[in-house]
Amino acid sequence: MKLALVGATGMVGNVMLKVLEERNFPAVDLFAVASKNSIGKVISFKNKNVTVIGIEQALEKKPDIAIFSAGGKLSKKWAPLFAKSGTTVIDNSSAWRMESDVKLIVPEINANLLNSSDKIIANPNCSTIQMVLALKGIQEKYGIKRLVISTYQSVSGTGVAAVKQLNNERAKIDGKMAYPHPIDLNCLPHGGDFQENGYTTEEIKLVQETNKIFSTDNIKVTATVVRVPVIGGHSESVNVELNNDFNLADIKQELALIPGVVVQDDTKNNLYPMPITAHNKDAVFVGRIRRDYSVKYGIDLWIVSDNLRKGAATNAVQIAEYIIENNLI
């Protein structure tokens, strides 16, 4: 098994290396791929030294699987070349997510759609992954009519520059700004780029990706994305309007049965999901589960997950594991 990790020296790439080690991924050869500035650097993987190579060299080695986490522009150029050579590409950028012939996969929900002809597979947006995983059982049993989402997203979702801005501000250091405003002691209702319709690109991802993952176009979705001064972990307030009536105890049971979901809903003891407790974990945590009395069939959920793990690295690695286990290479 030959695995190429494109973007191995980046923030998500570092987490992917950690996840691959933790899950004892069955790779005989790991090709750590990065930009020209990083070629020749040595990284550690499974107690071995791995020398970083360029993407051209990685293509020549014809890996069985390539996980891309180096941005949409690079993915658009290179993913088809790897796919043409027989490599199965799992892409973490937004480049391929809404392409009609590319599958958007959260393994616990729709990995069964994959087959050996899928040579480019898209990893969803981090905010989408944690939400749809929590909603899986609810959608299957009751049907979702509408979602109203407010996210509270950590700066690590923007990247290294945003984390540095936050740390600089806390240390009273003047530095490069990743955001148009200070982020420490502040909240920015600005995720991605603003579009003509008033929504941002991050908000549109939640709208479009949710329906694609659930294989429908009937769920009405509106979203507001907010960046908050948290280094790791995305939180979401999700208002769900269902097509059918429900029992709240059954909803909690449905949530508890979903692989990868942990219910933390004991308000008497102040137990509810928080980024600080979700950090460095693969689970999606759900709490504040309550009926919304303003509509006929409504519930409110608070969903938290580590955006660099299940929201990116872990989901991609799980897709790779599924491909191997089911001989889809």
pLDDT over threshold 80, residue 27: no
pLDDT of residue 293: 97
Active site residue 126: yes
Q: Is 279 a catalytic residue?
A: no
Identify the three-state secondary structure at position 291. Answer: strand
- pLDDT of 274 above 90: yes
Exactly one of 181, 187, 190, 234 is catalytic; name it.
234
- At 26 the pLDDT is 87
Name the active-site residue from 126, 181, 190, 279.
126
Alpha carbon 49 to its chain centroid, in Å, reads 28
Q: Counting Cβ atoms within 10 Å, is residue 70 exposed (0-12), middle (13-18) or buried (19+)?
A: buried
Letter for the amino acid at 227? R
**Residue 192 tokens, joined:** 């991605």
CB burial string 234-255: b at 16+ within 10 A, e below: bbbebbbbbeeebeeeebeebb
- Say whether pLDDT at 33 is over 90: yes
Q: Is 110 exposed, middle or buried (0-12, 13-18, 19+ CB in 10 A)?
A: middle
User: pLDDT tens digit string along 169-201?
Assistant: 999 999 999 999 999 999 999 999 999 999 999
Q: Indicate yes or no: pTM above 0.85.
A: yes
159-170: pLDDT as tens digits:
999 999 999 999
Closest CA to 96 of 116, 85, 82: 82
| pLDDT value of residue 28 | 72
Give the tens place of pLDDT for each residue, 50-97: 999 999 999 999 999 999 999 999 999 999 999 999 999 999 999 999
Q: Where are the domains of the chain?
A: 2-124+312-325, 127-307
Among candidate residues 144, 103, 135, the one with its CA nearest the CA of residue 236: 135
In terms of CATH, what superfamily is 2-124+312-325? NAD(P)-binding Rossmann-like Domain (3.40.50.720)
In CATH, the number for domain 127-307 is 3.30.360.10
